[in-house]
Copies of this chain bind each other. A is one copy, B any other.
Amino acid sequence: MNFKTYMNEKRMMVDTRLAELLQTDVTPFGPLYEAMNYSLMAGGKRIRPVLMLSVLEALGKNAAPYLDIACAMECVHSYSLIHDDLPAMDDDALRRGKPTNHVVFGEGIAILAGDGLLTFAFELMARQRHIDPDKIRQCLYTFAHAAGPAGMVGGQAFDLQSEGNKDIGLDGLRLLHRSKTGVIFKAAIDMAAILGDAEPSQRQALDTYALNMGLTFQITDDILDIAGDEAILGKPVGSDVKNNKATYVTIFSLEEARNMAQKAAAAAIAAAEPLGEKAWFLRELVSYMLVRTM
C-alpha cells in the first residue's frame, strides 16, 4: 500500500467514528453538541490518531480495537484549538478556512464546547471495556499528563505570557514546542506502545522517533506560517511574525529552519529503522511532513 492510500484509509476510519461519537440529537443539549461537532468535524488532518494507529500496526498489532482511544486524542486536539482561538487567547477568526467556534456560537458556548470535548475524551477512553483496564489506566495517565498543566496547557500558558516577546530564545522556543505539540505526539506513540506491548528496544526506538518527528512537524509548521499558501492552509500566513512570536523561522532564517527540519526528519527515519518493514509508514510520515503544504 502506498503512503497516500494508507493515510486516507486511516483518516477515513477516524472521521467515520468521530461522526458517530457525538450525535447532535441530544435533547436538550443539542446546541452544545452542534458546537462540539462543528470543530471536531471541520476536516483536520487527524495526524495524532493516525500516528497512534500506525504505531500499533508498526508493532504488528491490529489497530481497529483501539480506534476510540485514537478518536479521544482528536477530541482533545479539537478542544485545544477551540480554546486557543478564543479572543482572550490567540483571537483567531479563521481556522481551516471556516469561522472559528466562538465566531459562530459565541464565546460562552465555545468555552463549553472545548470543556465538553476534553471531558468526553476521557469518558470515551474509560468506557473501552474490551481493553485490559490497567492498560486503559496507563493510557489515561499518559494522555492526561501530556495534555494537562505540566504539558499542553502549561505550554499554552507559557505561550500566552511570552507572546510579543521573541526574547524567550531557543531554549524557550524548544520548551514551547515540546509542551504544545511534542508531548501530544509523544503521548500518541506511548499509548500505542502500552496498548501494543512494545518490547524495551522497540520503546527506545519509538522514543527517539517521537522526539524527532515532533520536531520535524513543529519546524515545518513554523515554515508554513511564513511560506505557506493561504488558500491551502485555510488561515492567513505571517501571523507569527505579525504577533512577534518566537518560532524557528523568526529566530533562524527560513534556510536554516529548512535544514533543521531535514536533520530532525533524517534522525526520526533512522530511529524507526530497527522497527523493520512493518514501520514503513512511520518513516514515510516524516518525509511527508517535510513537503506538506497544510
| Interface residue ranges, A against B (CB under 8 Å) | 22, 26, 28-29, 31-33, 36, 83, 86, 88-89, 106-112, 114-120, 122-123, 125-127, 129, 133-134, 136-138, 140-141, 144-145, 147-150, 153-154, 156-158, 160-161, 172, 175
Contacts and interface: CB of A to CB of B under 8 A. Distances in A.
Contacts of A122: 122, 140, 144
A157 B101 CA distance: 14
Contact of A115 (B32, B118, B175): B118
B137 A32 contact: no
18 contacts: A29-B150, A31-B161, A86-B108, A112-B153, A112-B156, A115-B153, A116-B154, A117-B149, A119-B147, A119-B149, A119-B153, A122-B122, A122-B144, A123-B144, A123-B145, A125-B140, A126-B141, A140-B140
Contacts of A138: 126
B160 A112 contact: yes
Given A32-B157, A126-B137, A137-B137, A26 B115 contact: no
Contacts of A83: 111-112, 115
Contact of A88 (B33, B111, B145, B157): B111
Contact of A140 (B107, B126, B150, B160): B126
Contacts of A32: 149, 153-154, 157-158
Nearest to A138: B126
Contacts of A26: 149-150, 154
Nearest to A145: B123
A116 B144 CA distance: 10
Nearest to A32: B157
A120 B108 contact: no
Contacts of A141: 123, 126-127
Contact of A123 (B31, B36, B148, B157): B148
Nearest to A102: B88
B108 A149 contact: no
Contacts of A88: 106-108, 110-111
B116 A153 contact: yes
A125 B158 CA distance: 26
Contact of A119 (B31, B127, B137, B148): B148
Contacts of A107: 88
